[in-house]
Amino acid sequence: MKLTPYEQSLLEGAEGRGVQKAMEIVVALGRIYGAEDLVEVSSAQVAGVSYKNLGEAGLEFLSDWAAQGARVRIPTTLNPAGLDLHSWHQLGFDAEFAAEQQRVLETFAAMGIPPSCTCTPYLVGNTSKLGEHIAWAESSAVSFANSVLGARTNREGGPSALAAAIVGRTARYGLHLDANRRARLVVEVRCPVRSFSDFGALGILVGQQAHNRVPYLRGLDVSRLAGSVGIDLLKTLGAAMAASGAVALYHIEGVTPESGEPDIIVPDAEQITIADLTPGYRALDQSGHFAVDLVWFGCPHASLTELEEIVRLLNGRRCKVPLWVTMARTLQDEAARSGLLQRFEALGGRVVADTCLVVAPMQGLGFQSVATPCAKGAYYVPTHSGMAVHFNSPEVCVETAVTGRWVAEAGGVEG
Amino acid sequence: MKRLTGRVIKHGRASGIALVSPEPISFFGMVDVDTGIVIEPGHPLMGERIGGRVLVFPTGKGSTVGSYSLYRLAKAGHAPAAILNFESDPIVAVGAIISDIPMVDQVDISQIHTGDWVHVEGEQVIVDS
């Protein structure tokens, strides 16, 4: 692999052991994947933040790396933490866990990374332009950056994204190269895809068939995908594909920025048709009747548009069942300034910042079941947090919060 | 004595008795970090102690947390002396790098058997059975 004299010097330890270790990681990954050289990256998103996932081993490693002088040299944001950093106590999280989580965030702060704690860095200022090289972990953010923003990143892991942030470079392979951004699977969508949960169910079905291939979607109503509502729909679609498959990039005809490039579909691409979303709903909604202990929006983290829509659907009615919206703290602050947060809380809703139901130690809080319109969340919560899941449209989920009863049948209730 | 060569993932020099797994390894959940003993039910290395051995397996698998688990094993003194793979994966590779464990891949691991004495130096692998 070709390294510049400067890169070579970092590898030899010219800027200390911490930087050297980062360079070793970047170069080794490049060698494994056959990269010819490194490429400068303009931002990083680091995963492996929740103490629940990191554990003592991860924390120990991060502290040692920070002590060896590891500091990020590009704008870097963090994935969600294991709890709401301000109101964990009221929410019932364990004090010991909170202390460990705090140590993790102090370690990241020592490396120069502020506690942004969101899986939607692109909603809080970590945005990228078409063709920009970045190094992001967090599969849903990777998908959004590649597909909707047209930036270029592989699915980095926690340590490799951090290494890239420390040296400002990553190995040039995979999705950094034009050839690997072409679609190898064409998906003809032949059924209506309307609600937020429809897009999630579609994403689950596409991901199951795509595995790690780049899919190209046709037949979606393009007008629905415009504006801030469109951003929310693309966010849940991509997150679902990245959960059920390993899709890091997708194209939608007439919507995503690279979909119109010549030869964006390889000549021998496989063609499939999706004409029914029911299997997607069935895959996420656990059958059998049960009470709902919690209604949850915000996987990936909710936007202000989503929070506004929830308040509109509540229509002045109070929640009987706890209704949580997980989102970035900076967006919660913005909602507080505009009065949106107060309107939501007046109806019994609760914004939980910095974390989500997948990375928080939910087992200690006594919730047995959750209703959500978020496909990625529905996909992971049973295994990661041990709760039963109901999955349906935002309308159905809000009705559940208000009435305390789950009313929908699995299979795409129209909102 | 056999001389094999591979590709350096983490440069270093180490010797030890080979422990060969025919199946992929995840250090997350598979190995008890406090003892270095394999605890994954059904794994071919179940019950084996990996500390100080030259650990030979086809490739890695599983969660990205595995890199950190290997680091913790190393800090507790239970890391393998070296790692030899047929095809390295990013999780074990990153784990070896951050833990300073010599690692070579693209090695013809069919030439190595559990109990062989193995010396690793850079890309060179010397096997004495």
pLDDT band at residue B72 under the 50/70/90 scheme: confident
pLDDT: is B118 or A52 the higher one? Answer: B118
Tens digits of residue pLDDT in A24-39: 999 999 988 899 999 9
Task: Give B67's contacts in chain A (Cβ within 8 Å).
Answer: 157-159
Reply yes or no on whether the pLDDT at A375 is more than 50: yes
SS3 for A303?
coil
**Sign of the four-CA dihedral A101, A106, A109, A115:** positive
Average pLDDT, chain A: 95
Nearest CA in chain B to A21: B98
Average pLDDT, chain B: 92
Percent of chain B clearing pLDDT 90 (strictly above): 71
- The mean per-residue pLDDT over the stretch A180-185 comes to 98
- The mean per-residue pLDDT over the stretch B57-82 comes to 88
A364 and chain B in contact, CB less than 8 A: no
Which of A297, A293, A299, A298 has the alpha carbon at shortest distance from A363?
A293
Q: What is the pTM of this model?
A: 0.90
Question: Is the CB of A28 less than 8 angstroms away from the CB of B105?
Answer: no
Question: Is the CB of A159 less than 8 angstroms away from the CB of B69?
Answer: no
A55 and chain B in contact, CB less than 8 A: yes
**Sign of the four-CA dihedral A64, A65, A68, A74:** negative
Peptide bond into B90 cis (omega under 30): no
Question: Is the CB of B72 less than 8 angstroms away from the CB of A56?
Answer: yes
Nearest CA in chain A to B103: A28
Question: Is the CB of A53 less than 8 angstroms away from the CB of B71?
Answer: no
Residues A370 and A388: beta-carbon distance below 8 Å: yes
Reply yes or no on whether the pLDDT at A150 is more than 70: yes
Distance CA B123, CA B5 (A): 6
Residue A306 phi/psi, 5° resolution? -65, -45
pLDDT band at residue A289 under the 50/70/90 scheme: low
Out of A31, A55, A160, the one facing B94 most closely (by C-beta) is A160
Residues A361 and A94: beta-carbon distance below 8 Å: yes
**Which residue is listed with tokens 């050839």?**
A179
Residues B58 and B83: beta-carbon distance below 8 Å: no
Question: Is the CB of B9 less than 8 angstroms away from the CB of A25?
Answer: no
Nearest CA in chain A to B34: A57
Distance CA B62, CA A347 (A): 43
String of DSSP letters for A306-338? HHHHHHHHHTTPPPSS-EEEEE-HHHHHHHHHH
A246 and chain B in contact, CB less than 8 A: no
Reply yes or no on whether the pLDDT at A415 is more than 80: no
Record the tokens describing residue A388, joined without a space.
């039963």
Residues B48 and B38: beta-carbon distance below 8 Å: yes
Distance CA A4, CA A97 (A): 44
A12 and chain B in contact, CB less than 8 A: no
Strands B103-105 and B7-10: antiparallel
Distance CA A247, CA A262 (A): 21
Distance CA A145, CA A132 (A): 10
Q: For residues A256-267, b (16+ Cβ closer than 10 Å) or e, as one string?
A: bebbeeeebbbe
Question: Is the CB of A61 less than 8 angstroms away from the CB of B89?
Answer: no
Residues A319 and A347: beta-carbon distance below 8 Å: yes
What is the total residue count of chain A? Answer: 415
Strands A215-218 and A76-78: unpaired
Reply yes or no on whether the pLDDT at A156 is more than 50: yes
Peptide bond into A300 cis (omega under 30): yes
Reply yes or no on whether the pLDDT at A362 is more than 70: yes
Distance CA B119, CA A309 (A): 64
Tens digits of residue pLDDT in B14-68: 999 999 999 988 887 788 888 999 998 889 999 999 999 999 999 987 667 788 8
Q: Chain A closest CA to B115's CA: distance in Å?
A: 28
Chain B interface, best mutation among A24, A51, A358, by max B CB count within 10 A = A24
A57 and chain B in contact, CB less than 8 A: yes
Residue A135 phi/psi, 5° resolution? -130, 95
Q: Is A247 exposed, middle or buried (0-12, 13-18, 19+ CB in 10 A)?
A: buried
Distance CA A123, CA A331 (A): 8
Record the tokens describing residue A303, joined without a space.
């936007």
Residue B124 phi/psi, 5° resolution? -85, 135
R_g of chain A computed on alpha carbons: 21
Q: Within 10 Å of residue A77's Cβ, how many Cβ atoms?
A: 26
Is position B63 annotated as part of the catalytic site?
Answer: yes
Strands B82-85 and B103-105: parallel
Helix (H), strand (E) at residue A186: strand A183-189
Record the tokens describing residue A104, joined without a space.
């993790």
Q: Which residues contact A64 (CB under 8 A, 6 or more apart)?
A: none
Tens digits of residue pLDDT in A39-71: 999 999 999 999 988 888 899 999 999 999 999
- The mean per-residue pLDDT over the stretch B6-10 comes to 94
pLDDT: is A319 or B61 the higher one? Answer: A319
Which of B63, B67, B88, B99 is flagged as catalytic? B63
Task: Give A58's contacts in chain B (Cβ within 8 Å).
Answer: 65, 68
Reply yes or no on whether the pLDDT at A414 is more than 60: no
pLDDT at B30: 83
